[in-house]
């Protein structure tokens, strides 16, 4: 691996949602507006067509169009677009990888496609590297793997020529330290939104996450606090965010988060059917607690980042009505 590659891929990378209309078709104006909103913040890049981008329910033409739009805007802003290209058909995955290179992506990424055996995965990753000519970031998430993953598997993947690192979306922070020790030049992105500060402290270079679309200032602030050595404040914010996210997990994460994106005027919908939608009365009952916890988080973020001379505040449109 190349140490200069790791130096390039530092920071906060929102996992871009793929807004859709009521019929599930791509909402291109909403996509462009969301990209523009994120790129005026000091994010390092955008992660396209991943799980937050609803990739299993996107058509190949939709994935190509998202990459075209978001890569062009990212390059113009001097940011690093990363295109997730996983597909159960290797031919389609390679075509997506080649297109990502044509669009100026900085890297491609892939979770294990559901139809593949673990023993065949190294050849699959090697084919994506060859097709794109770009660094590949392996996407490890237990929820997207049809088989258990051991550290020996991660070691094997990171040893493939052209693999530059990984997005680690499992819940064991020690693996971050393990990977960093064995692969000091690997790019490591933290995946779980609720563990960003912990994983940065264990050696991650940055984070890729869903809530980064809605609350980019929070995750920019968390990383700034870790870099500044304010571990106590970073972990406090992480815990406060976990209190916020707990309401979404209780309601049903996809539908609750989608409703918060719509409430903020960022997208009418971001997930295509079928998704689990909670009972509306039960979901509404969670909103006062969610909004109160989010206000407390916003106040703590403003105070902590003010103390390091880099004040960040959550915008009012994401906070919603003030709790009664």
Q: What are phi and psi of 46, to 5 degrees?
A: -130, 145
Q: Around Cβ 311, how many Cβ atoms within 10 Å?
A: 14
DSSP state of 274: S
Model pLDDT, residue 42: 98
| CATH superfamily entry for domain 3-213 | Aldolase class I (3.20.20.70)
Relative to beta strand 80-84, strand 45-48 is parallel
Residue among 81, 51, 16, 235 at smallest CA distance from 141: 51
The answer to whether the CB of 83 falls within 8 A of the CB of 65 is: no
Report d(CA 257, CA 20) in Å as an integer: 14
Query: Could you tell me the CA-to-CA distances from 73 to 82, 144, 153, 297 in Å, in that order?
Result: 13, 29, 35, 31
Q: What is the dihedral of CA 63, 64, 70, 75, to 10 degrees?
A: 140
Q: How confident is the model at residue 323 (pLDDT cuts 50, 70, 90)?
A: confident
Count of other CB atoms within 10 angstroms of residue 185: 15
> pLDDT for 245-296, tens place per residue?
999 999 999 999 999 999 999 999 999 999 888 888 988 999 999 999 999 9
> Edge-to-edge, what's the strand order for the sheet holding 136-140?
11-14, 206-209, 187-190, 163-168, 136-140, 107-110, 80-84, 45-48
With a pLDDT cut of 90, the percent of the chain lying above it is 91
Is the model's pLDDT at 10 over the cut of 90?
Answer: yes
More confident residue, 61 or 280: 61
Domain spans, the chain: 3-213, 229-324
pLDDT at residue number 324: 63
Among the listed residues 176, 246, 168, the one whose alpha carbon sits nearest the alpha carbon of residue 209:
168
């Amino acid at each position: 691996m190349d140490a200069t590659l790791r130096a390039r891929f530092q920071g906060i990378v929102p996992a871009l949602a793929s807004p859709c209309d009521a019929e599930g078709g791509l909402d291109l104006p909403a996509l462009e507006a969301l990209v523009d909103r994120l790129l005026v913040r000091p994010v390092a890049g955008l992660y396209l067509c991943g799980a937050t981008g609803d990739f299993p329910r996107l058509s190949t033409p939709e994935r190509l169009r998202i990459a075209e739009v978001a890569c062009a805007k990212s390059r113009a802003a001097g940011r690093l677009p990363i295109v997730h290209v996983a597909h159960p058909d290797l031919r389609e995955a390679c075509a997506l990888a080649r297109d990502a290179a044509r669009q100026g992506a900085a890297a491609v990424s892939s979770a294990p496609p559901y139809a593949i055996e673990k023993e065949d995965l190294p050849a699959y990753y090697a084919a994506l590297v060859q097709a794109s000519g770009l660094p590949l970031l392996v996407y490890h998430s237990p929820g997207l793997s049809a088989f258990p993953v051991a550290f020996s598997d991660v070691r094997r993947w990171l040893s493939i020529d052209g693999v530059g690192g990984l997005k680690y979306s499992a819940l064991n922070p020690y693996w971050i330290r393990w990977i960093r020790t064995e692969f000091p030049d690997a790019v490591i992105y933290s995946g779980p939104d609720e563990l960003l500060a912990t994983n940065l402290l264990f050696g991650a270079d940055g984070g890729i996450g869903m809530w980064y679309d809605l609350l980019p200032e929070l995750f920019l602030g968390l990383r700034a606090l870790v870099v500044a050595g304010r571990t106590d404040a970073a972990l406090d914010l992480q815990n406060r965010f976990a209190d916020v996210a707990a309401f979404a997990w209780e309601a049903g994460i996809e539908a609750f988060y989608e409703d918060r994106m719509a409430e903020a005027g960022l997208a009418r919908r971001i997930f295509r059917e079928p998704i689990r939608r909670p009972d509306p009365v039960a979901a509404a009952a969670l909103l006062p607690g969610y909004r109160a916890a989010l206000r407390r988080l916003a106040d703590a973020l403003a105070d902590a980042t003010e103390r390091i001379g880099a004040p960040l505040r959550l915008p009012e449109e994401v906070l919603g009505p003030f709790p009664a």
